[in-house]
Amino acid sequence: MKLELHKVKVSKLAWGDKTAVRDGVLFVNKEELVSMLSEDERLAKVDVELAMPGESVRILPVKDVIEPRCKIEGKGGIFPGMVSDVETVGEGKTLVLEGAAVVTTGKIVRFQEGIIDMSGPGADYCPYSQTNNVVLLLDPVVDLEKHDHEAACRLAGLKTAAYLAECCRDCEPDRVDVYETLSFRESMHAYPDLPKVAYLYMLQSQGLLHDTWVYGVDAKKSLPTLISPTEVMDGAIVSGNCVSACDKNNTYVHLNNPIINSMYEHHGKDFNFVGCIITNENVTLADKKRSSSYSIKLASMMGLDGLLISEEGFGNPDADLIMNCWKAERAGMKTTLLTDEYAGQDGASQSLADSCPEGDACVTAGNANEVITLPPMEKVLGYPDEANIIAGGWDGSLASDGTITVELQAIIGSTCELGFTKLGAYTI
């Protein structure tokens, strides 16, 4: 499967009579966009705001972040099973508005949404402080069930991302990135002197609005399966999560998975990257056993030498991560784990809820319990009082002057377990 990403650079946002990109500026027709989104009868009120890097703007509570993309050549459409047909994607040409993002907001589960600061110390931890954000302010009709509210917000974000890109489909790209995955018959015989390595991609799917969608199917309803990395880039995986902001994998992250990008870069040099296995994260022990055993069975059938495993979330999913690890190691595959830590505000507590002797190669995305103070912003998009409820915050997190004191857990993407972060390090 060969996919070309035609990237149009967006460096600024502005309102305009026509949605289009000119000289790096994405102009947005607000009236047209609001009208389109207001067709959803589940939404009582729709508004759109713009937020750009460096501005004194705070956005909360944030539900999801999506990069605008659309298919310009090839099978299927972007976000299959959601806003386009369920035809398999991952081939042809896809337009990307690089540097732009759609941000959805809404009080859904409330404590499991997050914060984006476009400037200040919070921006140093949030990758979406560097994107030019089209912010959707979405209020539901009275007494709408939370599942329906989430679905309405999810669909609004995906429709907006597709709309913005479709309006710019005739733009000349500033850059074209090409990715290709060979068939198994070809890939298994390529680079015979290099180890065969795959990526085990864990998707949050614990229920209770902890959902991830694959071609429009809730991941918890499927056994682990194989997926082409280029399908992921074409929107086959969509976030439906209302989980802690710091390590939820937003749809933007799935589209730009840095693990997949890095494995492509090392393919044919350090190892033979033969593909991706997607698996779910479940609640019951029986389901965890089933999915981990099935994942490692697929990996064994591929004759892998190594497996890179990334987690989504923390606590209960730690058990899935560790189960995948020791089963792969005992099947003869070397593993590397990517996770984050909940080690307490002093960093002295146990970092993961589970562990095993085989898990001796682990990359951390940081301690989500570390406390940060966010200064007041001139403009707040959303509901500032949610800072007192959000996971990582507490009653009194929001001060009277607009200052917020929270753990990194409250900041979207701050400890992303795919490595899509602005993480730094310091010596103590």
pLDDT at 422: 79
Is the pLDDT at 301 greater than 90? The verdict is yes
Domain range enclosing 305: 2-410
pLDDT reading at 107 higher than 80: yes
Instruction: Quote the pLDDT of residue 124.
Output: 95
User: Would the pLDDT of 426 be above 80?
Assistant: no
Structural contact between residues 179 and 3, judged by C-beta atoms closer than 8 angstroms: yes
Per-residue model confidence (pLDDT) at position 207:
80
Q: Please name which of 339, 335, 275 lies closest in space to residue 311, comparing C-alpha atoms.
A: 339
- Rounded distance, CA 168 to CA 97, Å? 8
The average pLDDT across 18-24 equals 97
pLDDT of residue 355: 92
What is the domain count for the chain?
1
Q: What confidence score (pLDDT) does residue 243 get?
A: 86
Q: Does residue 7 register a pLDDT over 80?
A: yes
pLDDT at 282 over 70: yes
In this predicted structure, the answer to whether residue 428 has a pLDDT above a threshold of 80 is no
* Predicted local distance difference test score (pLDDT) of residue 134: 98
| 167 catalytic per annotation | no
Q: Residues 190, 3, 52, CA angle at the centre, nearest 5°?
A: 130
| 167, 242, 276, 416: the active-site residue | 242
Is residue 250 domain-resident? yes
Q: What is the mean pLDDT of residues 294-303?
A: 97
Q: Is residue 220 part of a domain?
A: yes
Q: How many helices (H) and strands (E) does the chain have?
A: 8, 24
- Residue 427: is its pLDDT beyond 70? no
**Two structure tokens written together for 405:** 């004191």
Q: Looking at the domain assignment, is residue 423 inside a domain?
A: no
**Average pLDDT of the segment spanning 177-195:** 93
Q: Does some domain include residue 65?
A: yes
Average pLDDT, the chain: 95
* Per-residue pLDDT at 209: 87
| The predicted structure's pLDDT at residue 112 | 82
For residue 423, pLDDT beyond 80: no
Whether 24 has a pLDDT exceeding 90, the answer reads yes
Query: Would you state the pLDDT for residue 424?
Result: 62
Of the candidates 306, 238, 269, the one whose C-alpha atom is nearest the C-alpha of residue 89 is 238
Distance CA 150, CA 239 (A): 11
Question: Could you tell me if residue 46 is inside a domain?
Answer: yes
The order of strands in the sheet holding 362-367 is 225-227, 272-281, 196-204, 306-310, 334-341, 362-367
Q: Which residues 6+ apart lie within 8 Å of 31 measured at CB?
A: none
Any domain includes 129: yes
Q: What angle do CA 389, 392, 397 make, to 5 degrees?
A: 60
Q: Is position 425 within any domain?
A: no
Residue 111: the pLDDT is: 76
Closest CA to 407 of 373, 375, 384, 376: 373
Residue 425 has a pLDDT of: 61
What's the average model confidence in pLDDT over 198-210? 92
Residue 417 included in any domain: no
Q: Comparing 101-115, 247-261, 270-284, which segment has the lowest mean pLDDT? A: 101-115
